[in-house]
Structure 1
Amino acid sequence: MNIMGQLALIFGLSLVGEGVAALLPVSFPASVISMVLLMVLLLTGVVKDKHIKTVSNFLVANMAFFFIPSFVGIVEHGTLMKSQALPLLVIVGLTTPFVYLVTGWTVQLLMLRRKRREELK
């Protein structure tokens, strides 16, 4: 699939995620809906990884560029950030180890699952 087709697929899934989020009675991020939809399509084989490989590699390689608007927003609200620095540092300090632990356990679980599948073959 060419680059324009890959972009169309990714942006199309983003558009569907926006539509689903607009229809939900509760507030839910459209980006999460789009990622879950993409995961389902990849796991079912409807979309193959080769169908989005070039564009996804480009997006991951240039990921820092996409954080510039967030950084500008933080800089614009610097005084508010300074006033909330202590609660923010406490939250980050408590949740970061938790995220590392959950990520590590998930990776170990997936590695064990893969090993068991290979043993069954």
Structure 2
Amino acid sequence: MKHLKQLALLLACCVGGNLISALLHGALPSNVLGLTLLLVLLICRAVKLHHVEDTADFLLQNMAFFFLPACLGILDIFADIKGEILAILAVCLLTTLCTAAATALTVHIVLKLQHRENEEAFDRD
């Protein structure tokens, strides 16, 4: 029963994201708005982490399952995109490198800020 309640809460955030996206006339993707809604609820402590943690972990561990429809959809249109496959792969590679670089830069900045915070705390003692 616990997992059903957690799933219902996660689905409610998804539906909320859909509703907000519809109100904004699709200006922002509903999945992003749903996750933002969940984040806001967690930050405001309207939802506690233990209310969604088990089901969210299960979904993350089985994420590959959710990519199957997209992969099968690509197989359906492969004949149409065959001529553009190199361009598509180049874009995938470039965006992967950009994402890795942005992640590395973010981690570097956060570690630098944490190190500075630790030094300031050490100086105060």
Separation in 2, partners of 1:9, 1:53: 11
Alignment RMSD: 2.3
* 1:71 match: 71
C-alpha distance after superposition, 1:24-82 (max 9, x if no partner): 13432100000111112222222221111110111011111111100110000111221
Counterpart AA for 2:104: G
Map 1:107-118 to 2 at 5 A: 107-114=107-114, 116=117
| Unaligned residue ranges in structure 1 (runs of 5+) | none
TM-score between both structures, scaled by the size of structure 2: 0.83
Match of 1:57 in 2: 57
Runs of 4+ with >6 A deviation: none
**Could you report, residue by residue, the CA deviation over 1:57-111 in whole angstroms, capped at 9, with x for unpaired residues?**
1101111111110011000011122121121122123222111010112223334
Give the TM-score normalised by the residue count of structure 1: 0.86
Alignment partners' CA distance in 2, 1:21 and 1:118: 44
Distance 2:103 2:39 in 1: 18
Please state whether the residue corresponding to 1:106 is helix, strand or coil. helix
- Would the alpha carbon gap of residues 39 and 72 (structure 1) be closer, same or farther in structure 2, given more than 3 Å must change? same
- How many residues end up aligned between the 2 structures? 121
Gaps of at least 5 residues in structure 2 are none
Change (3 A) 1:87 1:66: same
My pick for the range that moved more, 56-65 or 88-97, is: 88-97
SS at structure 2 position matched to 1:28: coil
Q: 1:96 to 1:22 in 2, by over 3 A?
A: same
Given the alignment of the two structures, is residue 33 of structure 1 paired with residue 33 of structure 2, yes or no?
yes
Larger Rg computed on CA atoms = 2
| Residue in 2 that maps onto 1:84 | 84
What percentage of aligned pairs have identical amino acids? Answer: 34
Q: What secondary structure, in the 3-state scheme, does the structure 2 residue paired with 1:50 have?
A: helix
Give 1:5's aligned residue. 5
Distance 1:111 1:28 in 2: 31
Report the Cα offset of residue 3 of structure 1.
1.1
